[in-house]
Structure 1
């Protein structure tokens, strides 16, 4: 009985060795490649939308900021609205920041051909008002 068990284990050993070598080689290839190519702003924006769906607003804002910094207009617009809406949209854990929200909405608006249709110009395309006067240098 011991001889049969030993032969069965001996027969499986080469297969296990091959699997372990393949896993090791794939790990080495991954280590040489680093983390792979960086994700695009569109992918970051998609991750922000996924985080919003899951109710993880801190992650949503982090992904929106990353995508917005790379010039993704939809991320800039959504980040601006999220910062202006703050607690009304995402609960008390997200404070409102009118100045930063205004900044992102205006950046998004500058990328569009028809700025009059953009939400930024609907909100901020008029003379300074009491809410955002402190956001601009005098």
Structure 2
């Protein structure tokens, strides 16, 4: 049974410091963290020159394909015909990434085969999470 989905997609940094127009982005979904998706950006696309990953709600990505969603560090919204904008807000600034909506839909569809929407809670390991949280407290 597949428990992790990874998908490479092309993205375009709308406002980027380096002259990098199109970059490979890796989307990841892991059954062990059923509410989240992760986007990993390669080192050449970041200000620090190291790979950077952002994790955020799978539900946010799904909602952002049809309407503006998010009010915090990550915001997602449709853009024109067939594109989606993902904004990442950090103290260093804002990164605006333009992606093909179909790539994101395909990724989400694959993630829903691993953990269907609405039953994410069934895949949480609460005992393990509590043990990790309490590990250094005694």
TM-score range, shorter chain: under 0.3
Which structure has the bigger radius of gyration? 1
- The answer to which structure has the higher strand fraction is 2
More contact order relative to length (CA 8 Å, sep ≥ 6): 2
TM-score normalised by structure 2 residue count: 0.25
- The answer to which structure has the higher helix fraction is 1
TM-score normalised by structure 1 residue count: 0.25
